[in-house]
Amino acid sequence: MKAANSLMSGLGTTVFEVMSTLAREHQSVNLGQGFPDDRGPDEVRAAAADYLLNGNN
């Protein structure tokens, strides 16, 4: 097994790791990091647009 990176191992848990873990636990979409490779499912985009346009954000 490869040894842990000594520089990175002292940094602790990142907010990205916390948010990714929470997304998995709650079966949700993590929008907190990165750029999607595509536009995503139409129904998800339509629901997001509806919530934003109707003030339910």
Residue 1 lies in a domain: no
Residue 27 lies in a domain: yes
**Is it the case that residue 2 has pLDDT exceeding 70?**
no
Range of the domain at 23: 6-53
pTM for this entry? 0.44
- The closest of 33, 49, 32 to 41, measured between CA atoms, is 49
pLDDT in tens, 3-57: 677 787 777 888 888 989 999 999 998 877 776 678 888 998 999 899 999 986 5
- The closest of 55, 54, 29 to 41, measured between CA atoms, is 29
The total number of structural domains that make up the chain: 1
For residue 56, the model assigns a pLDDT of 66
For residue 32, the model assigns a pLDDT of 73
Residue 11 lies in a domain: yes
51 within 8 A of 57, measured Cβ to Cβ: yes
Residue 23 lies in a domain: yes
For residue 14, the model assigns a pLDDT of 84
Can you read off the two tokens belonging to residue 25?
Answer: 């636990």
